[in-house]
Structure formats: structure tokens, C-alpha cells
């Protein structure tokens, strides 16, 4: 059974399992794309890269109603320090799961291989701010992060569009839990991320968060005060955001 409710401005949809979650999130994003393309020539979208997005991206790619050739794609964060072609790079994940599967109008990726990381942040910031972002497809981390805005570095009033961050230990451990790295020592300590205001400025947020390991982060995001100690709490202030959960990730919240 699927049910829904709202917490402040954030709408929440709970599906029975992660496959159903992915399908519902994809149907929502597909509808938003079609509606946007009815009133403007192109859509600008940002995608998260994580195993939590697998089912959603698979369902989205299978949707034959989407005009991909009118969509410009961006990705929201990337490790610093991994060699080119590393399977853990978020750009590689998105290439494998969506960028190579459909024909976008354009794909703009963060280049973490450059020697001048600050210049890359400025370049990517210019690309992102050329026009408004219409849709962000994202998740929530085990420590409540959104993109790589972990609690120690998240800033709800950040003046930057894109920035370099030090990764929180819990965030790095999540990458091990996800099976992306063998040990926490293998996980990079720095990354490039879109900031909280950059994500929140998008027209629509579709947030896919499956799995039992996300249950505590979901509980905190929906019940704790809106504060950088749990960055995802800010999602409750967005005027057009939907959080998609499955039975496991919703297991610590009280059913309305």
C-alpha cells in the first residue's frame, strides 16, 4: 500500500518497497519534465549519484515519454583525489546509470581531475547559474546530508554555488556501507559539492531515499528542528518537494 502525508511544506510518499519507490519517483519526475517542456523549450536537471538512486534512474530511463533531447543534465557532487576512470567516481556512476542510456541535449560534469579545483568550482558555478535549475533528483545521506553538505560544512545561507568540502566520517563510512569502497581509509576526504542554496533554488526536488540504513536520517529530517546539524531538515521549507520512502526507510516515523 502506498500512502502519503506532509511535514510542513514537504510532501512524503511511502511505497511498500524500493522498486515501487523508484517507479513512483520516476513517474513524478517524468510528469514534471513533460509539464515543464509544455511551457519552455528546455529543462535543466541535476542528478545525484548513489546506489539509493538505482531503481529510480532505471525506471526513469525506461520511460519512453521523456524528451531527453531537450534536457540539460548536471551532477551534484564529486570526489577529489580518485584517479580518472575510477569506478567510485560519481560521474562514472551517472554515465553508467543514465548519461549513456538516453540522449540528453547536453551533459555537464564536474571535473575533479583538474589541478585547479577552485577554478573548476567557479566554472561549474557559471554553468549552473546561466539559467534556473528546474528539477533536482537527489537523496539523503545517513548523516542527514544533501549532496556532500555534511553537518560540519552545511550552510543554509551559503554564498557559494559550488564549493570544496571536507567529508564527515559518517559520510565516508556510508560509502563503505554502500559497497563502493572496501574500507574508510579508501574513501577520499575531500569533495566538490553543490551547496544547499543551489539545491534549494531548483523549481522541484524529487528525493528518493530507500533502505533501512536511512531510517534514522529520515526520522531526523522530518522531526528535528530545521538546522544544519541535520541538513536535510531544510527540505521541509521547499515549496515543491516530494520525499519518496519505502517501508524500511519510513520505519522510524510515525504513520499518520
Q: What's the rounded Cα separation, in Å, for the pair 179 and 248?
A: 19
Confidence of residue 256 (pLDDT cuts 50, 70, 90): low
Q: What's the rounded Cα separation, in Å, for the pair 221 and 156?
A: 14
Tens digit of each residue's pLDDT (9 = 90 or more) over 208-239: 999 999 999 999 999 999 999 999 999 999 99
Beta bridge partners of 163: 193
Q: What's the rounded Cα separation, in Å, for the pair 185 and 110?
A: 23
Tens digit of each residue's pLDDT (9 = 90 or more) over 167-212: 988 888 888 888 888 899 988 899 999 999 999 999 999 999 999 9
- Let me know: does 30 contact 129? Beta carbons within 8 Å: no
Query: Burial level of 131, CB count in 10 A (0-12/13-18/19+)?
Result: exposed
C-alpha cell at 159: 554564498
- Let me know: does 155 contact 184? Beta carbons within 8 Å: no
Report the predicted TM-score, pTM, of the whole model to 2 decimal places: 0.95
Tens digit of each residue's pLDDT (9 = 90 or more) over 124-158: 999 999 999 999 999 999 999 999 999 999 999 99
Q: What is the structure's pLDDT at 175? A: 86
Strands (E), 139-209: 162-166, 190-194, 204-209
Tens digit of each residue's pLDDT (9 = 90 or more) over 88-110: 899 999 999 999 999 999 999 99
Going from the C-alpha of 8 to that of each of 94, 210, 253, the distances in angstroms are: 32, 21, 15
Q: Is 107 helix (H, G, I), strand (E, B) or coil?
A: strand
Neighbours of 146 (CB within 10 A): 30
Tens digit of each residue's pLDDT (9 = 90 or more) over 50-99: 999 999 999 999 999 999 999 999 999 999 999 888 998 999 999 999 99
Q: What is the structure's pLDDT at 182? A: 87
Q: Does domain 23-209 have CATH number 3.40.50.970?
A: no
Rounded (to 5) percent helix, strand, coil in the chain: 35, 20, 40
> Alpha carbon 194 to chain centroid distance?
10
Amino acid at each position: 500500500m502506498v500512502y502519503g502525508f506532509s511535514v510542513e511544506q514537504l510532501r512524503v510518499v511511502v511505497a511498500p518497497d524500493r522498486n515501487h519507490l523508484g517507479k513512483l519517483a520516476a513517474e513524478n519526475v517524468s510528469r514534471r519534465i513533460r509539464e515543464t517542456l509544455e511551457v519552455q523549450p528546455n529543462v535543466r536537471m541535476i542528478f545525484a549519484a548513489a546506489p539509493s538512486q538505482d531503481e529510480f534512474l532505471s525506471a526513469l530511463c525506461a520511460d519512453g515519454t521523456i524528451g531527453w533531447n531537450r534536457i540539460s543534465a548536471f551532477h551534484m557532487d564529486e570526489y577529489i583525489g580518485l584517479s580518472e576512470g575510477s569506478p567510485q567516481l560519481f560521474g562514472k556512476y551517472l554515465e553508467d546509470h543514465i548519461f549513456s542510456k538516453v540522449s540528453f541535449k547536453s551533459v555537464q560534469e564536474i571535473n575533479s581531475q583538474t589541478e585547479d579545483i577552485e577554478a573548476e568550482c567557479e566554472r561549474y558555478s557559471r554553468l549552473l547559474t546561466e539559467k534556473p535549475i528546474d528539477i533536482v533528483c537527489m537523496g539523503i545521506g545517513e548523516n542527514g546530508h544533501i549532496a556532500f553538505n555534511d553537518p560540519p560544512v552545511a550552510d543554509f545561507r551559503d554564498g557559494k554555488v559550488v564549493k570544496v568540502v571536507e567529508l564527515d566520517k559518517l559520510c565516508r563510512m556510508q560509502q563503505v556501507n554502500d559497497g563502493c569502497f572496501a574500507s574508510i581509509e579508501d574513501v577520499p576526504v575531500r569533495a566538490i559539492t553543490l551547496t544547499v542554496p543551489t539545491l534549494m533554488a531548483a523549481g522541484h526536488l524529487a528525493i528518493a531515499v530507500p533502505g533501512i540504513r536511512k531510517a534514522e536520517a529520515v526520522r531526523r529530517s522530518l522531526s528535528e528542528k530545521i538546522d544544519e546539524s541535520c541538513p536535510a531538515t531544510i527540505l521541509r521549507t521547499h515549496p515543491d518537494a516530494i520525499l519518496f520512502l519505502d517501508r524500511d526507510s519510513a520505519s522510524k516515523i510515525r504513520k499518520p
